[in-house]
Amino acid sequence: MRKLIPLITMSLLALLLVACDNSLNRADRTITLVQDHVNEIINELNEIQLQEENLQADFEETLNQSEDLSAFKNTENKVYQNVQTRQSHLERLQELTGELGNLTKEFETIQRRETLPNDQVNQLLERINQLNTDMSTYVSDYLANLQIEQTTYQSIANAETDYNDFFGVFDNVNTLASTNQMNLEKVLAHFESINTQLINFKVFIANAQENR
């Protein structure tokens, strides 16, 4: 019986060590996934900005396609394609935001099972949740504005469009762009802090794994 108790104790200790290692590995994988999602979000935002930069040239090309401006009704024109491309990137951002929210829930579960620095974890989760909130606002407002923008461009092909209506298009688009930019700036403010905190956690987990 005396030999059995130490054997049981050693077995339990081994199980605990394996469980701890699994938790750390799970935390490491989750953080890597968060990093991947944050990087993809940044890439999608860059793609949207690229399309915004191309919009002037796309507009001028569409403008030169027909003397009566009927090209703006054509779904093959560059302006329409620009709008559709931005919409696709925005829809992908919606998906990424939802997936990032699920990853934060996963991280909360790991936090309860593993000894992680609570203050840092809470700060990271708070920052990511705020990013998700601001990202949701950016995407929802942008998608709504994009529909108005598309309708505005199509209105150029209206036979009754006069000089004032034509140049009013630019005022309308510029107003929508200002709202999008304001929302974007709120989103961009989160990335540096989140990336720094994620790197710090990777270092913490690597050190914890070495000390096991």
Decide if 22 is inside a domain.
no
Q: What percent of the chain has pLDDT over 70?
A: 83
Q: In which band, very low, low, confident or very high, does the pLDDT at 161 lie, cut at 50, 70 and 90?
A: low
Radius of gyration of the chain (CA): 26
Number of domains in the chain: 1
Cα separation of 156 and 167, whole Å? 10
Decide if 178 is inside a domain.
yes
Decide if 3 is inside a domain.
no
pLDDT digits (tens, 9 = 90+) for 165-181: 666 677 878 888 999 99
Decide if 14 is inside a domain.
no
The closest alpha carbon to 27, from 95, 134, 108, belongs to 108
Q: For residue 43, count other CB atoms closer than 10 A to its CB.
A: 13
What the block records as the tokens of 115 is 């000894």
Average pLDDT, the chain: 83
What the block records as the tokens of 4 is 């059995």
* Tokens 């720094």 belong to residue: 196
Average pLDDT of the residues in 29-45: 95
Decide if 46 is inside a domain.
yes
Q: For residue 187, count other CB atoms closer than 10 A to its CB.
A: 22
Residue 146, pLDDT score: 93
Residue 12, pLDDT score: 38
Decide if 50 is inside a domain.
yes
pLDDT digits (tens, 9 = 90+) for 190-210: 999 999 999 988 888 888 777
Owning domain of residue 79: 28-210
Q: In which band, very low, low, confident or very high, does the pLDDT at 9 lie, cut at 50, 70 and 90?
A: very low
What are φ and ψ of residue 91, in 5° steps? -65, -35
Residue 194 near residue 108 (C-beta atoms within 8 A): no
Q: In which band, very low, low, confident or very high, does the pLDDT at 69 lie, cut at 50, 70 and 90?
A: confident
Decide if 9 is inside a domain.
no
- pTM for the full model? 0.84
Question: Where would I find the H helices in the chain?
Answer: 4-63, 78-113, 118-155, 163-188, 191-210
pLDDT digits (tens, 9 = 90+) for 70-90: 888 888 899 999 999 999 999
Residues 84, 59, 149, CA angle at the centre, nearest 5°? 50
Q: In which band, very low, low, confident or very high, does the pLDDT at 154 lie, cut at 50, 70 and 90?
A: confident
Decide if 6 is inside a domain.
no
Average pLDDT of the residues in 101-128: 81
HEC string of 14-74 equals HHHHHHHHHHHHHHHHHHHHHHHHHHHHHHHHHHHHHHHHHHHHHHHHHHCCCCCCHHHHC
Average pLDDT of the residues in 56-60: 92
What the block records as the tokens of 123 is 């700060």
Residue 162, pLDDT score: 62
Question: 6-20, 66-80, 87-101 — which is least confidently predicted?
Answer: 6-20
Cα separation of 13 and 8, whole Å? 9
In CATH, what number is assigned to the domain containing residue 108? 1.20.120.570
